[in-house]
Amino acid sequence: MPTEFISLTFPNASTEVNPIAGAGIDPEYLVRYARNLDDYDFNYTLVPYDSSSYDPFTIGATIAAATKKLKIIIALRPNTLYPTVAAKALATLDQLSSGRAVVHFIAGGSDAEQAKEGDFLPKDQRYARLEEYIRILRRAWQSPEPFDWDGKFYQFKQFANRVRPANGVAIPVSVGGSSEEAYRIGGALADIFGLWGEPLKETKEQIDRIYQAAAQAGRPNSDRPRIWVTFRPIIAETDELAWQRAYRTLDILKANQARNSGGGNPSSDGKAVPVQPPTPQNVGSQRLLEIASRGDVHDRALWYPTVTATNARGASTALVGSYQTVVDSILDYVALGAELISIRGYDNLNDAIDYGRFILPKVRSALQERKSREPDSS
């Protein structure tokens, strides 16, 4: 399988370093961003999920209508949609986009975040529910007959689905997370497994655990989940310029963190007082923070201060350097077995265009060149 690239969808011009307070959906921006991804040969865009944010399905349908090749990854928390409804919604998007829908499952990393939408299951149960949910979706996409379901989390009778995926079989299923439950369920059931960028050694350990779980579930090596790894590259023409940019970005992230954690309680000199943020409950973020405590730079260019500055909120490890340094770093992960590389920056649209001009073609041509040197490539 070729190496593929993923970006993230943004509904407006607001960014982490330049937030626009109260920004709503900017349809023109959304379409422009998506079309740039399509034109610069990104393969996928992830439409993320957050309890306080926009509906990924309508955003995804808008992107599908504005693009030709880009695949749309819908982030989905099982607690937010009954599985039969999700099966039809995903298949509808898949047909509308001629087979470009993918679903990325999130068991839910935070009890407080889940409670906001009425989900009070503990995390291990949320993963057990996810397992049942994926099995229902696959059955709903394929079953020629109406079927009953009598599971632990869902029960229904005689569900008959006329809305099939474009290929008549299934939509690719992705699972993300770094806990043992994530490895077990993703290893057993996922087509794609999503990770956040960690150093090469730790990434290799995670990939091995996912493959082990796949083998334990009886999957042959030819049917293991494809590995997706996410980074936040900060690039420039030279390493020196990229590092200058990285430190400027970090200063802004730190100032935002201090402002947000100060909670509007300025000290006597008027400055926001940073409060130590609580340790995140999801293992993926805990791992990032632990690695950050061991050093700022790992391997060639993997940079962790952006993790600490955001308390590992989502994908937050940067890759800092010249175009070539970042290309070489990505190639290191491809050599480990990563087939999907997710890259998004801090200046969302401009960074996506820069990656499209300076990173994607170089990675692809380096891989092509390597392939042509393999003895059996003819």
Q: How far is the CB of 378 from ligand FMN (least distance, A)?
A: 37
**Region of 33-41, 46-54, 149-157, 184-192 interacting with ligand FMN (CB under 6 A):** 46-54
Minimum CB separation from ligand FMN for residue 285, in Å? Answer: 7
Closest C-alpha to 313, from 218, 232, 378: 232
Q: Which is nearer to ligand FMN, 163 or 200 (CB)?
A: 200
Tell me: does residue 176 bind ligand FMN (CB under 6 A).
yes
109 binding ligand FMN? (CB under 6 A) = yes
Q: Which of 30, 107, 189, 246 binds ligand FMN (CB under 6 A)?
A: 107
Q: Does 333 bind ligand FMN (CB under 6 A)?
A: no
Minimum distance between the CB of residue 142 and ligand FMN, rounded to whole angstroms? 26
Taking each helix axis from N to C end, the angle separating 180-189 and 123-142, rounded to the nearest 10 degrees, works out to 10
Could you say whether residue 195 binds ligand FMN (CB under 6 A)? yes
The verdict on 89 binding ligand FMN (CB under 6 A) reads no
- Round to whole Å and give the CA distance between 125 and 313: 23
* Residues 6 or more apart whose Cβ sits within 8 Å of residue 251: none
Residue with tokens 């309680």: 265
Q: Which is nearer to ligand FMN, 189 or 242 (CB)?
A: 189
Choose, by CB under 6 A, the member of 5, 33, 42, 49 that binds ligand FMN. Answer: 49
Which C-beta is closer to ligand FMN: that of 182 or that of 301?
A: 182
The SS3 of residue 174 is: strand
* Chain residue whose CB lies nearest ligand FMN: 109
Decide: is 233 part of the binding site for ligand FMN (CB under 6 A). Answer: no
Q: Is 231 helix (H, G, I), strand (E, B) or coil?
A: strand
- Residue 34 to residue 31: CA distance in whole angstroms: 5
DSSP 8-state assignment for residue 282: S
Using CB under 6 A as the binding rule, whether residue 316 contacts ligand FMN is answered as: no
Pairwise CA distance, residues 214 & 220, whole Å: 8
Q: Which residues have CB under 8 Å from 110's CB, separation 6+?
A: 280, 281, 282
**SS3 assignment, position 1:** coil
* Alpha-carbon span 190 to 223, nearest angstrom: 10
Q: Whose Cβ is closer to ligand FMN: residue 257's or residue 282's? A: 282
- The reply on whether position 75 binds ligand FMN by CB under 6 A is yes
Of 130, 159, 127, nearest to 143 (Cα)? 159
Using the contact rule CB under 6 A, the part of the chain among 48-56, 80-88, 165-173, 256-264 near ligand FMN is 48-56
Cβ at position 286, least distance to ligand FMN in Å: 8
What distances in angstroms separate CA 344 from CA 6, 46, 55, 125, 187, one per listed residue? Answer: 8, 11, 21, 32, 26
Region near ligand FMN per CB under 6 A, out of 103-111, 294-302, 318-326, 352-360: 103-111
- For the record, the structure tokens of 44 come out as 């996928």
Identify which range of 101-109, 236-244, 322-330, 364-372 contacts ligand FMN by CB under 6 A: 101-109
Q: What pairs with residue 44 in β-bridges?
A: 6, 71
Residues that bind ligand FMN (CB under 6 A): 48-50, 75, 106-109, 176-179, 182, 194-196, 228, 230, 282-284
